[in-house]
């Protein structure tokens, strides 16, 4: 009798829960369907303007964003109802949950603690001079004086909400070096899991050191330079690696891949090449060693490709925010089908040119040797015909390089800033870890020598940031002194021409490491919005939006010094910075 009563109570609770889900689903669907009507979206944005006390209706991207969210909400509600209200859905959820638990139970997390501490020490050593430089990098200038977040403009919703938790406030303040220390921890975990995944769950010190390009490639140093963005950029790397912990269970791998790839897209989309890179190398390793039959390899490749494409489609249609800022930044639009091939090839050509120009002769030599060793090892250890392995290994290298640029290669207007090349560091790490795994000592020496040069450059880069900060502060002090003497009430409209050039130490480094001139921002440069934020750090507030070109005006010279020339008629002021 008691057992029947307990069963009846459980059945009643289950029924009540289902009724609540149905009611909430109906309400959610009604709201989402209502948002599909333009009049409703107009009303919502109008209320948003009143609450936020700022104009948002002028941003046409908001209408498309609300529409995407409404469509995404409908799909999510229907999928959630399937998983909670149907027997087949609940069975699917149970199987996925069980597979995830099985995979996690197979991992000895305690054995990963020591490798994480080792890599934390390595990365902390590499980033130490960057932290010591205390350099406000690009968007840091604006966030530190205004406290805005703004990651939602680039559809980085995870970054948007995570920043509130990390900074313990909706208004951001400079809490460095905490964000960079968090980035180091996340990168350390990423390196360990990367070696765990790529090294058949065998972690050695050599393999860990071979993974250094993940966090200390010259391109990812740009990510670590951000005081506010660094942990979220590092999180995008970790999110791209985590799905491969569940590679032995199909449902768990598929589910975790989609979720992790969405997190990657909502933190830093430039990392979109990491997941397909690892997939390609896993398939090559299994094929070259014949550990798995071709059918199993193709099945895994197909499943991973489906997960990646599905996640990208979800993000594109339901989460990617298109705004007026696309005009000044990377677009969210991809090449139309008639121009897809030519546009993609053009982007990849530019990507290759930038990489080639950025790398110094030492890096080019080291990377070339690693590539040669990769081919030699592939031939030497193959279970296939050696000639076939030779050509396949070259094909894999080529495809890996292409994939390292991620989805940016498909965009109509991609970015070519160094931080957008973070996939190239993963490309190097994959080659390095593969080469040092159970192979000859010359391979280990070559890889460690290359990674030592990356670590040394990180020291140089951090010190160069400090030099540039001192030089710019010196130049800005002289400029503001002259302006305050000429116009003590800031009564003129100012415009800049040229920029404060690089410090002499940076020019010296650039002779052998050209990438440094693209890594270090000129914080006071004509046409760059962050220059005005930089001036505000010295309590000089000036309107940055000038529609006319003061250079076309015949302004008299009121001051000419070694560092700058000031032209003004008492209303308009043109500052010509000298190099």
Cβ-based neighbour number of residue 334 at 10 Å:
17
pLDDT of residue 152: 83
Q: What value does the mean pLDDT take over residues 194-216?
A: 94
Sign of torsion, CA 431 432 437 441? positive
**Closest by CA position to 237, among listed 195, 196, 202, 194:** 194
Query: What gap in Å lies between CA 565 and CA 557, rounded to an integer?
Result: 7
Q: What value does the mean pLDDT take over residues 460-475?
A: 95
Say if CB 308 and CB 390 are below 8 A apart: no
pLDDT, one tens digit per residue, over 231-262 is 999 999 999 999 999 999 999 999 999 999 99
pLDDT, one tens digit per residue, over 58-76 is 444 555 666 667 777 777 7
Query: What gap in Å lies between CA 261 and CA 258, rounded to an integer?
Result: 5
Token pair of 334, please?
A: 């991809």
Q: What value does the mean pLDDT take over residues 512-538?
A: 88
Crossing angle of helices 157-167 and 178-198, in 10° steps, is: 130
pLDDT of residue 541: 78
Query: What gap in Å lies between CA 220 and CA 425, rounded to an integer?
Result: 7
pLDDT, one tens digit per residue, over 340-357 is 899 999 999 999 999 999
pLDDT, one tens digit per residue, over 3-12 is 555 555 666 6
- 326 falls in which pLDDT band (50, 70, 90)? very low
Lowest model confidence (mean pLDDT) among 79-83, 119-123, 186-190, 306-310? 79-83
Q: Is the pLDDT of residue 327 over 50?
A: no
Q: Is the pLDDT of residue 274 over 80?
A: yes
pLDDT, one tens digit per residue, over 9-50 is 666 676 777 788 888 878 877 777 776 666 665 666 566 555
- Token pair 């305050």 is found at 484
- 89 falls in which pLDDT band (50, 70, 90)? confident
Q: Is the pLDDT of residue 419 over 80?
A: yes
Q: Domain limits of the chain?
A: 16-85, 110-461, 475-577
Q: What are phi and psi of 332, to 5 degrees?
A: -100, 0
Query: 558: helix, coil or strand?
Result: strand
Residue 202's Cβ-count burial label (10 Å; 0-12, 13-18, 19+) is exposed
* Residue 26 vs residue 124, higher pLDDT: 124
- 528 falls in which pLDDT band (50, 70, 90)? confident
Q: Hey, what's the torsion of the CAs at 483, 484, 489, 492, to 10 degrees?
A: 0
Q: Which residues contact 207 (CB under 8 A, 6 or more apart)?
A: 195, 199, 433, 436, 437
Average pLDDT of the chain, as a whole number: 87
Query: What gap in Å lies between CA 120 and CA 186, rounded to an integer?
Result: 9
Cβ-based neighbour number of residue 42 at 10 Å:
13
Query: What gap in Å lies between CA 436 and CA 542, rounded to an integer?
Result: 55
Measure the N-to-C terminal CA separation of the chain; round to a whole number of Å. Answer: 91
pTM recorded for the entire structure: 0.91
**Closest by CA position to 62, among listed 43, 82, 77, 41:** 41
pLDDT of residue 67: 66
């Amino acid at each position: 009798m008691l057992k029947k009563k307990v069963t009846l109570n459980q059945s009643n609770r289950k029924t009540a829960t289902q009724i609540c889900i149905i009611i909430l689903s109906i309400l959610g669907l009604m709201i989402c369907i209502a948002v599909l009507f333009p009049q409703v979206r107009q009303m919502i944005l109008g209320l948003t303007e009143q609450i936020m006390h700022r104009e948002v209706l002028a941003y046409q991207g908001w209408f498309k964003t609300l529409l995407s969210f409404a469509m995404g909400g409908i799909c999510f509600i229907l999928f959630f109802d399937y998983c909670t209200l149907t027997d087949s859905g609940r069975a699917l959820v149970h199987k996925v949950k069980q597979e995830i638990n099985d995979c996690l139970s197979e991992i000895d997390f305690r054995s990963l603690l020591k490798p994480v501490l080792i890599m934390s020490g390595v990365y902390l050593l590499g980033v130490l001079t960057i932290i010591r430089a205390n350099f406000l990098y690009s968007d840091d200038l604006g966030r530190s004086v205004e406290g805005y977040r703004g990651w939602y403009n680039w559809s980085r919703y995870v970054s948007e909400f995570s920043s509130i938790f990390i900074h313990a406030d909706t208004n951001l303040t400079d809490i460095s070096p905490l964000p960079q220390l968090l980035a180091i921890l996340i990168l350390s975990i990423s390196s360990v899991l990367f070696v765990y995944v790529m090294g058949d769950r065998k972690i050695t010190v050599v393999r860990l050191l071979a993974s250094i390009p993940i966090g200390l490639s010259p391109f990812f140093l740009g990510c670590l330079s951000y005081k506010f963005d660094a942990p979220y950029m590092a999180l995008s790397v970790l999110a791209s690696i985590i799905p491969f912990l569940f590679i032995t269970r199909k449902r768990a791998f598929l589910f975790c891949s989609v979720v992790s790839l969405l997190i990657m897209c909502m933190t830093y989309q430039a990392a979109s090449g990491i997941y397909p890179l690892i997939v390609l190398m896993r398939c090559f390793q299994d094929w070259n060693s014949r550990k798995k039959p071709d059918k199993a390899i193709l099945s895994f490749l197909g499943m991973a490709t489906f997960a990646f494409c599905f996640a990208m489609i979800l993000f594109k249609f339901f989460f990617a925010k298109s705004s007026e800022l696309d005009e000044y930044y990377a677009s969210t639009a991809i090449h139309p089908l008639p121009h897809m091939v030519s546009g993609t090839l053009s982007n990849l050509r530019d990507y290759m040119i930038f990489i080639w120009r950025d790398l110094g002769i030492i890096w080019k030599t080291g990377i070339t040797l690693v590539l040669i060793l990769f081919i030699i090892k592939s031939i030497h250890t193959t279970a296939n015909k050696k000639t076939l392995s030779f050509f396949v290994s070259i094909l894999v290298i080529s495809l890996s390089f292409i994939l390292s640029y991620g989805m940016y290669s498909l965009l109509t207007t991609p970015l070519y800033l160094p931080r957008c090349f973070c996939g190239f560091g993963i490309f190097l790490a994959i080659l390095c870890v593969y080469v040092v795994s159970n192979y000859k000592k010359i391979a280990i020496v070559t890889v460690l020598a290359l990674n030592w040069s990356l670590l040394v450059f990180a020291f140089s880069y951090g010190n160069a940031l400090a030099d540039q900060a001192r030089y710019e502060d010196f130049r800005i002090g002289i400029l503001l002194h002259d302006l305050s003497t000429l116009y003590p009430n800031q009564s003129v409209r100012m415009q800049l021409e040229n920029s404060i050039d690089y410090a002499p130490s940076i020019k010296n480094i650039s002779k052998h490491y050209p990438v440094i001139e693209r890594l270090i921002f000129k914080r006071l440069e004509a046409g760059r919005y962050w220059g005005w934020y930089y001036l505000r750090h010295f309590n000089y507030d000036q309107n940055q939006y000038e529609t006319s070109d003061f250079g076309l005006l015949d302004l008299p010279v009121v001051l000419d010094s070694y560092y700058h020339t000031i032209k003004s008629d008492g209303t308009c002021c043109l500052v010509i910075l000298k190099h």
